[in-house]
Amino acid sequence: MDFPPSTDRAVFHAALRDQFEVFLDEHRSALYDSLNGLTEEQARRSLVTSKTTLLGLVKHATFVEKVWFDEAITCRSRTEIGIPDSPDESFDLHDGDTIASVQHAYQQACTASRQATAKLTLDDLVRGNRRGPLPLRWIYLHTLRELAQHCGHADILREQILSGTTRHG
């Protein structure tokens, strides 16, 4: 069994910033990987009354990255960034959205997030969020909370999708 990077002994005693980044990347990877091995139809399958699908969930996670690590840090508008105005719209799937394209966009957004925070400290204030100035540590905690929630959603959706294609004895 593979253990997540966050359980590596070195992480237990790492600097807080390093711990945050390990946990964020662990959850980012889990969401990215939730689409692996699925067909396009499975990834788009609607299993709940909301807009949430696995493909839409990863697309929404791209939106989350851009809101918290682009809009909040650079103070650029959502229009300038090229993202929807509302979180609800970020789940909308378009004909051109595929597993590969959504995973690629998510991977690019995560890379850009890491670059945007590279020179900041946990105490640095970011000023581009409607709540007002927020320390980077709050952004990390909030994003981690949101990614953890979405990883749970992804686990359940994936289990539902795969239960229709495989039987466990």
What is the residue extent of each domain of the chain?
9-163
How far does Cα 99 stand from its chain's mean position? 15
pLDDT in tens, 59-90: 999 999 999 999 999 999 999 999 999 999 99
Give the pLDDT score at 3: 66
Q: Is the pLDDT of residue 164 over 80?
A: no
Stretch 140-165: mean pLDDT:
94
Q: How confident is the model at residue 167 (pLDDT cuts 50, 70, 90)?
A: very low
Q: How confident is the model at residue 137 (pLDDT cuts 50, 70, 90)?
A: very high
**Token pair in block for residue 35:** 């689409």
Task: Report the alpha-carbon distance of residue 135 to residue 127 in Å, rounded.
Answer: 9
Q: Is the pLDDT of residue 57 over 90?
A: yes
Give the pLDDT score at 115: 97
Q: Cα dist. 1→4, 63, 145, 168 in Å? A: 10, 32, 25, 19
Residue 69 burial class via C-beta count within 10 angstroms: exposed 0-12, middle 13-18, buried 19 and up: buried
Identify the CATH assignment for 9-163 out of 1.10.10.10, 3.40.50.300, 1.20.120.450, 3.40.50.720: 1.20.120.450
